[in-house]
Amino acid sequence: EVQLVESGGGLVKPGGSLRLSCAASGFTFSSYSMNWVRQAPGKGLEWVSSISSSSSYIYYADSVKGRFTISRDNAKNSLYLQMNSLRAEDTAVYYCARIVEYMDVWGKGTTVTVSS
Amino acid sequence: IQLTQSPSFLSASVGDRVTITCRASQGISSYLAWYQQKPGKAPKLLIYAASTLQSGVPSRFSGSGSGTEFTLTISSLQPEDFATYYCQQLNSYPFTFGPGTKVDIK
């Protein structure tokens, strides 16, 4: 079964850091680009970052550029999002998603809450 | 690239035909996807490349359009279709989503 499982969310103070992980299974992880998408409480979907299959190409939303870093370990079938200098507006459910020319497989999400 | 969706809210009955429109601020060819999201759940891909039905998605869902104007149609609304629908452009980064259309029970 094709599956993505996020972990690493939690409560963090403003200015703090958190590292999210996404474990992939059931498909050849190293062949796909991957993404992070987030959803603030009661709000719509926001694309956060993308990384190509070999990590050659990386893109960020302006809202997180310079604070978040996406990475992957193809040997471990894992995707990561290092989040630094967190703000209240980063509070959201964070989803990882596989991408071909569209996002066809999504994880269930992990919740990040930034609050003092 | 900005995406707008209309309507933002739609109240409909089981069996109704429902159409949601997504407009892009500039041409995106057919690089548009539609997702369905239910409360507390991850988005689910319905349509990609503007009009291609994702495997396993009921045929009552269809998509059309290219360039800047796109539509998602549900031919006969079923109880399990009450949800929020998002369009997304994948023509160029950042991969923006539309603001969503909530389909509620009349």
Q: Give residues with Cβ within 8 angstroms of B1, minimum separation 6.
A: B24, B25, B26, B28, B89, B91, B92, B96
Which pLDDT does position B63 carry in this prediction? Answer: 98
Region B72-90: mean pLDDT is: 97
Give residue for tokens 């999210």.
A20
At residue B106, does pLDDT exceed 90?
no
Which pLDDT does position A15 carry in this prediction? Answer: 98
B93 CB neighbours in chain A (<8 A) are 50, 59
Q: What is the pLDDT of residues A39-89, one digit of tens each?
A: 999 999 999 999 999 999 999 999 999 999 999 999 999 999 999 999 999
**Among the listed residues A87, A84, A105, A86, the one whose alpha carbon sits nearest the alpha carbon of residue A32:** A105
Which pLDDT does position A22 carry in this prediction? Answer: 98
Which residues make beta-bridge pairs with A69? A82
At residue A101, does pLDDT exceed 90?
no
DSSP code of residue B50: T
> How confident is the prediction for chain B on average, in pLDDT?
97
CB of B45 less than 8 A from some CB of A: yes
Q: Is B50 left (phi over 0), alpha (psi -120 to 50) or beta?
A: left
* Segment (H or E) for A14: none
Which pLDDT does position A80 carry in this prediction? Answer: 98
> How confident is the prediction for chain A on average, in pLDDT?
97
B45 CB neighbours in chain A (<8 A) are 102-104
Alpha-carbon torsion angle A75, A80, A84, A90, nearest 10: 180
Give residue for tokens 């998509």.
B63
Supply A79's token pair. Answer: 């995707």
Separation in Å, CA of A102 to nearest CA in chain B? 6
Q: Cβ of B97 and A104 within 8 Å?
A: no
Inter-chain CB pairs, A–B, below 8 Å? 54
Cβ neighbours around B11 below 10 Å, total: 12
At residue B78, does pLDDT exceed 90?
yes
A46 CB neighbours in chain B (<8 A) are 97
Supply B47's token pair. Answer: 């349509």
Which pLDDT does position B95 carry in this prediction? Answer: 95
At residue B105, does pLDDT exceed 90?
no
Q: Cβ of A102 and B100 within 8 Å?
A: no
Whether residue A65 contacts residue A48, with contact meaning beta carbons closer than 8 Å, is answered with: no
Whether residue B84 contacts residue B42, with contact meaning beta carbons closer than 8 Å, is answered with: no
- Facing residue for B99 by CB, picked from A35, A44, A61: A44
At residue A28, does pLDDT exceed 90?
yes
Whether residue B72 contacts residue B65, with contact meaning beta carbons closer than 8 Å, is answered with: no
What is the rounded CA–CA span in Å between residue B17 and residue B29?
26
Region B98-106: mean pLDDT is: 95
Q: Give residues with Cβ within 8 angstroms of A67, minimum separation 6.
A: A83, A84, A85, A86
Which pLDDT does position A116 carry in this prediction? Answer: 96
Q: What is the pLDDT of residues B9-54, one digit of tens each?
A: 999 999 999 999 999 999 999 999 999 999 999 999 999 999 999 9
User: Which chain A residue has the Cα nearest residue B96?
Assistant: A47
Which pLDDT does position A65 carry in this prediction? Answer: 98
At residue A100, does pLDDT exceed 90?
no
